[in-house]
């Protein structure tokens, strides 16, 4: 049993909290993770741009940001992985550009963000990027078959 905390800051009838919770659990299951806590914020381009500027010194909107914590407080039943922020308008536009459905793109971004929380990286070396993207693709292909 995982603890998934969702902060949906904008209205979107296609990407529901139930959908996010379901696919997050499926991703975590594929990674053999149980008893983890993860925070997911679904927001707009303006908010994610502010976070991107503050934390990465990039003054532009982006699709997904990850804030790893990875700690297990004493007597707390969950391992806290960290927080993920996804811009739903960015994801929707990006889905059209890469010929994914909107839900598939949110799944891809969520998988990407969770892998970052676990320490995977694609910016330091080509070898690390290959490892991360191969795992991301494997999880995506498996979970995408189950989304409606």
- Write out the binding residues for Zn(2+): 112, 116, 122
If 0-12 CB within 10 Å is exposed, 13-18 middle and 19+ buried, where does residue 99 land? exposed
Q: What distance in Å separates the CA atoms of residue 40 and residue 72, rounded to the nearest whole number?
A: 18
Q: How many helices (H) and strands (E) does the chain have?
A: 5, 4
Question: Binding site: what residues are annotated?
Answer: 112, 116, 122
User: For residue 10, what are the CA distances in angstroms to 23, 89, 140?
Assistant: 19, 10, 25
Closest CA to 3 of 47, 30, 33, 31: 33
Cα of first residue to Cα of last residue in the chain, in angstroms, is 23
Phi, psi of 31 (to 5 degrees): -90, 5
């Amino acid at each position: 049993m995982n603890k998934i905390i969702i902060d949906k800051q904008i209205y979107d009838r296609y990407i529901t909290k139930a959908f996010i919770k379901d696919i997050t659990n499926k991703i975590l299951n594929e990674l053999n993770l149980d008893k983890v806590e993860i925070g997911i914020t679904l927001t707009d381009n303006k908010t994610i741009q502010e976070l991107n500027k503050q934390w990465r010194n990039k003054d532009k909107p982006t699709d997904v940001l990850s804030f790893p914590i990875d700690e297990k407080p004493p007597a707390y039943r969950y391992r806290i992985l960290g927080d993920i922020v996804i811009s739903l308008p960015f994801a929707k536009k990006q889905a059209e550009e890469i010929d994914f459905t909107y839900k598939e793109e949110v799944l891809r971004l969520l998988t990407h963000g969770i892998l970052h929380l676990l320490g995977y990286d694609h910016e330091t070396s080509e070898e690390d990027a290959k490892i991360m993207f191969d795992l991301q693709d494997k999880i995506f292909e498996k979970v995408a078959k189950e989304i409606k």
